[in-house]
Amino acid sequence: MKNQESKTPYIVRPQTAVLTRGFNPELSAGSARPAVFRSSTYVFSSPESAERAFEIALGKSKPAENESVELIYARLSHPNAEIAEDQIVPLEPGARSAAVFNSGMAAISTLCFAFCKPGDAIIYTNPLYGGTHHLLHQMLAPLGIENVAVPAGDTTALTEAITRTANARLVFIETPANPTLRMSDIRAAAKAAHDRTHSPLIAVDNTLMGPAFQHPLALGADLVVYSATKYLAGFSDMLGGVILGKDPELIEALRGIRAMLGNILQPDESWLLDSRLPTVLFRMHRQSKNAQHIVDALAGHPGICTFHYPSLFDEPEQKRIRDAQCRYGGALFSFELHGGKRAAFDFLRRLTIARNAVSLGGVESLACHPATTTHSEMTADELRGCGVSDRLVRISVGVEDWRDLLKDLRQSLDAI
């Protein structure tokens, strides 16, 4: 349903493509930036065009090369979703197609419903984002979709699980893991999957590192998942999700389920997301540099017993994975404080620039205590198993001047 093809005749680089493809001003009364199309339904140019659009939407027929298929109804697709989808594709190396959803969890739920049925298994790296963990255990397991956990960073366990789980249909890898930043080997997982006769799909939740610093499709993954709420949108003012893939048929399957669940990203939010995409690489680079400066300055602080950040990894396997799949460390770090939970809470209480809130990836810095908030659904054993102690705090670094942030973190550490 491509009504918004751009006119750029030659191949351009990603930072240019995000501003030139997917949008044709002639279709928006000449406006230089996309308009918002809030209509729920679309007028057909003829009954024949309507018939053709439905044939294609219902999968009875495929569009011909360059065929312009008319829009039907906004739950299936609408111009702002199509613009955002077209413009995000060049930012993800290896991607050919994308689908937008009204949250990261909507994207992940749709992924599971599109590809898994009762009797299938989902292999996942542990720990996972709390919502994803809840989805697998409280919603999908009772429906007969099994799950198999593999500790983040354990390459042998991951490849063995993929080789041995005969009913595996989906491998869901979240790397780096939040909040300890342990990394899992995407390339090894993809190889194990592709060595099987019925390859399970490899999906990577790339929210923490992508699209700037880690490119899962280039490493062999089939699908990349984002909570666009975080770095992609970047201002902590909207919810969104995106899934990108190499194979447009996989994305088409997701769109089919999305049309039933009604969880497409709405026009206003699609417009907002689309307007943030041209700056995502700038923001992420600034935020990652800020984080690296702060980590370098704070790493030896006497109040901190353990610091979690990619440049500080000391396990050889973790260093190997980092060097093979990440360009920079990103803008999220965590550390553990001498003095336990009380010290962690006092630290958060004393901050004056970074705000005590969950979420990450916004231009403003945020700090939280994962064990009692984002990860509080896990049992004490599970928390211990994945390294989330009650003395750990997590910081998402924004675009403030890093020297002010450092001063704020340091005064709070010094005081406890």
Active site annotation includes 205 = yes
Q: How far is the CB of 72 from ligand PLP (least distance, A)?
A: 27
In terms of Cβ atoms closer than 10 Å to its own Cβ (0-12, 13-18, 19+), residue 198 is exposed
User: In the bound complex, which residue of the shown chain has the CB atom lying closest to ligand PLP?
Assistant: 104
Closest C-alpha to 62, from 280, 193, 248: 248
Active site annotation includes 404 = no
What DSSP designation does 139 have?
Answer: I
Q: How far is the CB of 174 from ligand PLP (least distance, A)?
A: 6
**Whole-angstrom distance, CA of residue 400 vs CA of residue 397:** 8
Outline where 116-205 has alpha helix (H): 130-134, 155-164, 186-194
* Helix (H/G/I), strand (E/B), else coil: 205: strand
Q: Which residue lies nearer to ligand PLP by CB, 174 or 185?
A: 174
Q: Which residue lies nearer to ligand PLP by CB, 103 or 214?
A: 103
Q: End-to-end CA distance of the chain: give it in Å, rounded.
A: 58
Q: How far is the CB of 25 from ligand PLP (least distance, A)?
A: 31
Q: How far is the CB of 133 from ligand PLP (least distance, A)?
A: 10
Q: Which of 205, 222, 274, 408 is catalytic?
A: 205
Q: How far is the CB of 383 from ligand PLP (least distance, A)?
A: 17
Outline where 22-103 has alpha helix (H): 47-57, 79-88
Q: How many CA atoms lie within 13 A of 315 on its CB side?
A: 13
Closest C-alpha to 135, from 108, 114, 168: 108
Residues making contact with ligand PLP (CB under 6 A): 103-105, 129, 131-132, 174, 178, 205, 207, 227, 229-230, 239, 241
Q: Quote the strand ranges of 36-139, DSSP E.
A: 97-101, 121-126
Q: Which of 52, 75, 187, 407 is catalytic?
A: 75
Q: How far is the CB of 363 from ligand PLP (least distance, A)?
A: 16
Q: Which residue lies nearer to ligand PLP by CB, 56 or 358?
A: 358
**Angle between helices 267-276 and 79-88 in degrees, nearest 10:** 30
Active site annotation includes 42 = no
Q: Which residue lies nearer to ligand PLP by CB, 239 or 261?
A: 239
Q: Which residue lies nearer to ligand PLP by CB, 57 or 116?
A: 116
How many angstroms separate the most distant Cα atoms in the chain? 74
Q: Which residue lies nearer to ligand PLP by CB, 267 or 362?
A: 362
Q: Would you say how long the chain is, in residues?
A: 416
Q: Which of 129, 231, 309, 328 is catalytic?
A: 129
Contacts of 373 (CB under 8 A, 6+ apart): 358
Q: Which residue lies nearer to ligand PLP by CB, 37 or 129?
A: 129
Q: Which of 21, 169, 182, 230 is catalytic?
A: 230
Phi-psi label, residue 181: left if phi above 0, alpha if psi -120 to 50, beta otherwise: left
Q: How far is the CB of 297 from ligand PLP (least distance, A)?
A: 26
In terms of Cβ atoms closer than 10 Å to its own Cβ (0-12, 13-18, 19+), residue 44 is middle
Query: Are the C-beta atoms of 346 and 303 separated by less than 8 Å?
Result: no
Catalytic residue positions, numbered: 75, 129, 205, 230
